[in-house]
């Protein structure tokens, strides 16, 4: 059951029911514009990752600012985007199982949908599903650029797999997927540069070997919010897959720039609004948002603009705040904004975005692909 | 948008699309029966916690086996249960904010709905909402029995608050809420007994002082899956609020009995079925279920009945399996059951339960109150 929205347009922010997923629309639009501006001189295009926002509404705003399309991780996410009018979608992931592959092939009739593979078995299964549906699917080879997750070895192994794709009747070689996840969250510029240098080398080498075999790489894709400027400047990557940049989170806020200051390219645009539900005293206040409402896999949320208050413990439906002795305790019923530790899974807990500007609710958007995990 | 179900009745388990939330119906029914059998001789009644299952279907099964009703944490959960035909509901939590209190008061016209308070401000706000709606609401005093979360001090402070409730025109004193959360997850019997002894003492003292003031305690509620037998045998608690017992999880599996063996009262009945999506080699396999599909706040999931395989890392949509050198690696496309680290938030990630028995899908039930966080 879709939950009823926690707000109505026109309400004041302090009237929004809680916990609620807020978008600060000014900061959000700043982030959309800023990514477009940073990428413009590089020649690399944005293919924003919808695993973060799960919303055709936001996808359209990214595309209006120059994004070539969207990435997703799941067939269910691709369906929601395609049904919402998004045309160009890459599943930046392996898709396994006949049920999912049938859905993927069916979707190819209404949108341009590409998918990744890192083994011959994947390629054969995708070919069978595409043949069965009478469609032709672009398939990218995912290479392991150091993340140690999915991906075939860069170089000859990747080239051999690309040749199998290119030689399959119902497939088309779509390029390479070369994303380095852990690099996104390395705290120093040096660590991020070092890891992405390896990813760029592996990608460049593979692209060159593919060309030697007569295979062009329409997409060389990767890069996230933590490292995208490096990939974009590499001359190798032509598509950037940043997702979190639209919202940011406490974890990305711990990345440092060359001067050791927090990276300030993007602004915090995503919050979970919560209500103080009990003030037992002793420097403690309880709020109505635990880890069912805000993800804690990348650390606890921050309390926005209340430096004396720390969110120190999350149970399912309760958050524990500790108040510094010199700070004023929040009051029963007071509403506080939390900056999520990790934006992607936080969004996936909620059914509605509440867009706010100047202290008032301006819009409600469904988190349309929430829970689309198959 | 409600996601489409990942299965159909009659399918084989290995045909279920993944990630999917499975109930092993034999183990689940065993757990339902077992709780009823353990509580029967104690005189304490079950008021099972629907924060775990979020399903009127499961609530009805618990009530059919003797439960007096259900607990919830949120007004939205109470709505889903009441709309699904459940009559007797306790919100075992403080409810703050006029929007929620209006919904609570409205719900009182179709169900018996009680709520907790731990301050005079709560009592006054509930009285105002009940008066406005023309209903009479039972209110329990939540006392802090050592959990250090919400709750007023046991004894005179709790009695004074109860008197305020009893003296409010549109309220009725419903009893005391005396739940000790952290005690549930203490690993040794001695630790659990010691903490609950304190909770029992605080509750007994408060009940006696209430009686001295002429206030009877219809409900003395608390106890969870880890400690319920202690509260049930106390002679003080008359309602037990266990929730996780229907499913169990890896975290509860770490609780030990008097002999140092895992507590074996209940069986693992909840699983997340996942598919091997990439086998990069080197003793590693990747599955299609990360922390968007299985909660990791209480530790990583276990791989069911595959002792040589450990789930060692969760990203949003990927789980990393490490395979012991002497064990056989799972195959691409193979489906594996995960035992969630924590059942409650895992359930809250999914739209559907897939009930399986004897290797086949027997039923689909919606997780009707999934995301009902307001």
Q: What is the pLDDT of residue B3?
A: 85
Label each residue of B327-351 as H, E or C: CCCCCCCCEEEEECCCHHHHHCCCC
Identify the domain containing residue A336 by its residue range. Answer: 13-20+264-366
Q: Are the beta carbons of A1 and B369 separated by less than 8 Å?
A: yes
Are A41 and A180 in the same domain?
yes
- Alpha carbon of residue B184 to chain centroid: 12
Cβ(A201)–Cβ(A116) below 8 Å: no
Residues 6+ apart with CB under 8 A from B217: B175, B176, B207, B210, B211
Q: Are the beta carbons of A344 and B73 separated by less than 8 Å?
A: no
Residues of B in contact with A374 (CB under 8 A): 3, 6, 17-20
Are A240 and A168 in the same domain?
yes
In degrees rounded to 5, what are phi and psi of residue A25?
-65, -35
Cβ(A344)–Cβ(A54) below 8 Å: no
Tell whether A2 is covered by a domain: no
- pLDDT one-digit tens code per residue, B240-277: 999 999 999 999 999 999 999 999 999 999 999 999 99
Task: List the CATH number of the domain containing A354.
Answer: 2.40.37.20
Q: What is the pLDDT of residue A1?
A: 60
DSSP assignment letter at A55: -
Q: Are the beta carbons of A317 and B1 separated by less than 8 Å?
A: no
Distance from CA of B370 to the nearest CA of A (A): 7
Share of chain A above pLDDT 70, in %: 100
- CB burial class (10 A; 0-12, 13-18, 19+) of residue B182? middle
Which of A62, A1, A79 is CA-nearest to residue A372? Answer: A79
Q: Residues B318-343: what's their mean pLDDT?
A: 96
Q: Are the beta carbons of A349 and B288 separated by less than 8 Å?
A: no
Reduce the DSSP state of residue A49 to 3 states and report it.
Answer: strand
Nearest to B374 among A17, A314, A373 (CB): A17
Q: Residues A1-17: what's their mean pLDDT?
A: 92
Are B275 and B227 in the same domain?
no
Are B147 and B209 in the same domain?
yes
Residues of B in contact with A141 (CB under 8 A): none
- pLDDT one-digit tens code per residue, B90-119: 999 999 999 999 999 999 999 999 999 999
Strand partners, A172: A138
Nearest-5° angle of CA A110, CA A48, CA A361?
95
Gyration radius (Cα) of chain B, Å: 22
Share of chain B above pLDDT 70, in %: 100
Residues 6+ apart with CB under 8 A from B148: A280, A284, B182
Are B183 and B275 in the same domain?
no
Residues of B in contact with A286 (CB under 8 A): 149-150
Are A38 and A160 in the same domain?
yes
| Final residue of a structural domain among B202, B219, B247 | B247
Tell whether B168 is covered by a domain: yes
Tokens of A171: 């497939």
- pLDDT one-digit tens code per residue, A325-361: 999 999 999 999 999 999 999 999 999 999 999 999 9
Q: Are the beta carbons of A17 and B100 separated by less than 8 Å?
A: yes
Residues of A in contact with B122 (CB under 8 A): 332
Nearest to B297 among A95, A148, A296 (CB): A296
pLDDT interval class at B308 (50, 70, 90): very high
Q: Are the beta carbons of B277 and A73 separated by less than 8 Å?
A: no
Tokens of A121: 């078995």
Residues of B in contact with A149 (CB under 8 A): 278, 280, 286, 315, 318, 320
Residues of B in contact with A82 (CB under 8 A): none
Nearest to B280 among A3, A18, A150 (CB): A150
Are B281 and B213 in the same domain?
no
Q: Are the beta carbons of B93 and A2 separated by less than 8 Å?
A: no
Residues of B in contact with A291 (CB under 8 A): 295, 297, 345
Distance CA A304, CA A272 (A): 10
Residues of A in contact with B140 (CB under 8 A): none
Are B111 and B213 in the same domain?
yes
Q: Is the pLDDT of residue A217 over 70?
A: yes
* Ranges assigned E (strand) in A250-308: 270-281, 284-287, 302-303
Tell whether A137 is covered by a domain: yes
Q: Is the pLDDT of residue B39 over 70?
A: yes
Q: Are the beta carbons of A284 and B148 separated by less than 8 Å?
A: yes
Size of interface A-B (CB pairs under 8 A): 177
DSSP assignment letter at A147: S
pLDDT interval class at B192 (50, 70, 90): very high
Reduce the DSSP state of residue A295 to 3 states and report it.
Answer: coil
Q: Quick one: closest CA in A to B18, which residue?
A: A374
pLDDT interval class at B281 (50, 70, 90): confident
**Which of A5, A182, A291, A292 is the best substitution to test chain B (most B C-beta atoms within 10 A)?**
A292
Nearest to B278 among A18, A150, A277 (CB): A150
Nearest to B373 among A51, A148, A292 (CB): A292
Q: Are the beta carbons of A317 and B119 separated by less than 8 Å?
A: no
Share of chain A above pLDDT 90, in %: 97
Q: How many CA atoms lie less than 13 Å away from B103 in the CB half-sphere?
A: 19
Are B101 and B73 in the same domain?
yes
Q: Is the pLDDT of residue A311 over 70?
A: yes
Are B228 and B291 in the same domain?
no
| Final residue of a structural domain among A221, A249, A277 | A249
Which of B64, B59, B61, B65 is CA-nearest to residue B37? Answer: B65
Distance CA A78, CA A181 (A): 21
Are A83 and A166 in the same domain?
yes
- Tell me what the pLDDT averaged over chain B comes to: 97
Q: Are the beta carbons of B280 and A118 separated by less than 8 Å?
A: yes
Q: Are the beta carbons of A144 and B280 separated by less than 8 Å?
A: yes
Residues of A in contact with B316 (CB under 8 A): 51, 73, 344-345
**Alpha-helical runs (H) found in chain A:** 25-39, 50-53, 56-64, 75-83, 98-107, 120-133, 156-166, 189-212, 228-232, 343-347
Which of A205, A201, A242 is CA-nearest to residue A221? Answer: A242
Residues of A in contact with B373 (CB under 8 A): 3, 19, 289, 292-293, 317, 349-350
Tokens of A240: 């950037």
Tell whether A254 is covered by a domain: no
Distance CA B248, CA B184 (A): 12
Q: Residues A264-289: what's their mean pLDDT?
A: 96
Q: Is the pLDDT of residue B361 over 80?
A: yes
Distance from CA of B1 to the nearest CA of A (A): 6
| Final residue of a structural domain among A249, A273, A305 | A249
Distance CA B20, CA A77 (A): 16
Q: Is the pLDDT of residue A18 over 70?
A: yes
Cβ(A374)–Cβ(A72) below 8 Å: no
Q: How many domains does chain A have?
A: 2
Distance CA A130, CA A102 (A): 8
Tell whether B114 is covered by a domain: yes
Q: Quick one: closest CA in A to B347, which residue?
A: A292
Residues 6+ apart with CB under 8 A from B356: B13, B16, B22, B23, B24, B25, B362
The answer to whether the bond into A322 is cis (omega within 30° of 0) is no
Reduce the DSSP state of residue A85 to 3 states and report it.
Answer: coil
Which of A115, A126, A105, A113 is CA-nearest to residue A86? Answer: A113
Tokens of A150: 């999915």
Q: Residues B151-168: what's their mean pLDDT?
A: 98
Tell whether A258 is covered by a domain: no
Q: Quick one: closest CA in A to B282, which residue?
A: A148
Q: Is the pLDDT of residue B2 over 80?
A: no
Q: Is the pLDDT of residue A3 over 90?
A: no
Q: What is the pLDDT of residue A243?
A: 98
- Provide long-range contacts, Cβ within 8 A and 24+ apart, for B188-195: B188/B256, B189/B256, B189/B257, B189/B258, B192/B226, B192/B227, B192/B230, B192/B255, B193/B230, B195/B146, B195/B227
Tell whether A316 is covered by a domain: yes
Q: Residues A62-67: what's their mean pLDDT?
A: 98
In degrees rounded to 5, what are phi and psi of residue B8?
-130, 145
Q: Are the beta carbons of A297 and B275 separated by less than 8 Å?
A: no
Distance from CA of A248 to the nearest CA of B (A): 16
Distance from CA of B262 to the nearest CA of A (A): 24
Using alpha carbons, list the distances in angstroms from residue B142 to B6, B223, B272. Answer: 40, 13, 35
Distance CA A199, CA A147 (A): 9
For helices A120-133 and A98-107, angle between their N-to-C axes, nearest 10 degrees: 50
Helix (H) or strand (E) holding A339: strand A335-339
Phi-psi domain of B157 (left: phi exceeds 0; alpha: psi -120 through 50; beta: other): alpha
Q: Is the pLDDT of residue B17 over 70?
A: yes
Tell whether B361 is covered by a domain: yes
pLDDT interval class at A248 (50, 70, 90): very high
Q: What is the pLDDT of residue B188?
A: 97
Q: Is the pLDDT of residue A257 over 90?
A: yes
Are B226 and B80 in the same domain?
yes
Q: Residues A202, A205, A208, A212: is their CA dihedral positive or negative?
A: negative
Q: Residues A161-189: what's their mean pLDDT?
A: 97
Q: Residues A221-236: what's their mean pLDDT?
A: 97
Q: What is the pLDDT of residue B1?
A: 61
Q: What is the largest CA-CA distance in chain B?
A: 71
């Amino acid at each position: 059951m879709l939950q009823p929205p926690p707000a109505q347009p026109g309400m004041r922010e302090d009237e929004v029911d809680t916990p609620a997923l807020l978008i600060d629309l000014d900061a959000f639009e700043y982030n959309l514009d800023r990514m477009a501006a940073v990428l413009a001189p590089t020649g690399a295009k944005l293919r924003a990752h919808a695993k973060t926002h799960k919303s055709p509404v936001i996808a359209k705003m990214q595309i209006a600012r120059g994004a070539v399309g969207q990435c997703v991780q799941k067939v269910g996410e691709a369906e929601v985007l395609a049904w919402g009018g998004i045309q160009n979608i890459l599943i930046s992931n392996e898709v396994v199982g006949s049920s999912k592959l049938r859905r993927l092939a069916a979707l190819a009739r209404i949108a341009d949908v590409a998918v990744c593979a890192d083994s011959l078995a994947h390629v054969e299964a995708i070919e069978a599903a595409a043949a069965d549906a009478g469609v032709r699917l672009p398939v990218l080879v995912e290479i392991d650029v150091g993340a140690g997750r999915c991906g075939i070895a860069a170089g000859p192994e990747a080239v051999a797999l690309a040749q199998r794709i290119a030689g399959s009747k119902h497939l088309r070689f779509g390029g390479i997927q070369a994303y380095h996840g852990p690099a996104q969250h390395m705290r120093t510029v040096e660590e991020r540069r070092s890891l992405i240098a390896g990813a760029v080398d592996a990608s460049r080498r593979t692209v060159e070997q593919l060309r030697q075999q007569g295979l062009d790489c329409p997409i060389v894709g990767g890069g996230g919010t933590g490292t995208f400027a490096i990939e974009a400047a590499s001359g190798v990557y032509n598509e950037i897959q940043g997702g979190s940049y639209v919202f940011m989170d406490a974890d990305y806020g711990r990345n440092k720039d060359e001067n050791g200051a927090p990276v300030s390219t993007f602004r915090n645009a995503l919050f979970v609004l919560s209500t103080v539900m009990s003030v037992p005293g002793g420097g403690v206040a309880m709020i109505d948002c635990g880890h069912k409402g805000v993800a804690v896999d990348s650390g606890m949320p921050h309390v926005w603009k209340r430096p004396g208050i720390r969110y120190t413990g999350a149970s399912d439906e309760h958050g524990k705040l500790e108040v510094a002795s010199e700070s004023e305790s929040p009051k029963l019923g007071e509403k506080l904004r939390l900056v999520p530790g990790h934006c992607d899974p936080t969004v996936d807990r909620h059914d509605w975005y509440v867009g706010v500007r100047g202290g008032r609710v301006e819009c409600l958007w469904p988190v349309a692909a929430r829970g689309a995990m198959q």
